[in-house]
């Protein structure tokens, strides 16, 4: 990665960055070079994965997380269940 410094028409100092693949970018020189290099490494690592994976991870991080609803552990009152026994007799189960 090559960097050159020059003054733009608006009077600000600008860095011209040419990557190894030939891409050119212009960045304000008030940003430290170490930060720019770290940003470049981060972008390169992110682009190494398929975009669909990045979208899936982004969607997963934005998903709303619901807290589980507390369920009743005890049954209220007396409950009667009617079931048929194997022989066809009615079986009442009380809980």
Exposure string over 66-91, b if 16+ CB within 10 A, otherwise e: eeeeeeeeeeeeeeeeeeeeeeeeee
Q: Which domain holds residue 16?
A: 2-51
Structure-model confidence comparison of residues 70 and 47, the more confident one: 47
Instruction: Tell whether the model's pLDDT for residue 61 goes beyond 70.
Output: yes
**Residue 10 domain-assigned?**
yes
Task: State how many domains the chain has.
Answer: 1
In a domain, 42, yes or no: yes
Confidence of residue 52 (pLDDT cuts 50, 70, 90): confident
Q: Which pLDDT belongs to residue 7?
A: 92
Rounded average pLDDT over 30-54: 83
Whether 19 has a pLDDT exceeding 60, the answer reads: yes
Of 2-6, 34-38, 89-93, where does mean pLDDT reach its minimum? 89-93
Q: Per the confidence metrics, is the pTM higher than 0.75? A: no
Among 5-9, 11-15, 16-20, 67-71, the range scoring the smallest mean pLDDT is 67-71
Q: What is the mean pLDDT of the chain?
A: 78
12 part of a folded domain:
yes
């Amino acid at each position: 990665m090559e960097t050159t410094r020059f003054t733009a028409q608006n009077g600000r100092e600008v860095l011209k960055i040419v990557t190894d693949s030939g891409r050119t970018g212009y960045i304000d020189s008030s940003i430290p070079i170490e930060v720019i290099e770290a940003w470049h490494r981060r972008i390169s690592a992110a682009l190494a994965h398929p975009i669909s994976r990045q979208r899936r991870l982004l969607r997963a991080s934005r998903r709303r997380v619901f807290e589980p609803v507390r369920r009743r552990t005890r049954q209220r009152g007396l409950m009667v269940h009617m079931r048929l026994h194997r022989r066809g007799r009615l079986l009442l189960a009380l809980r």
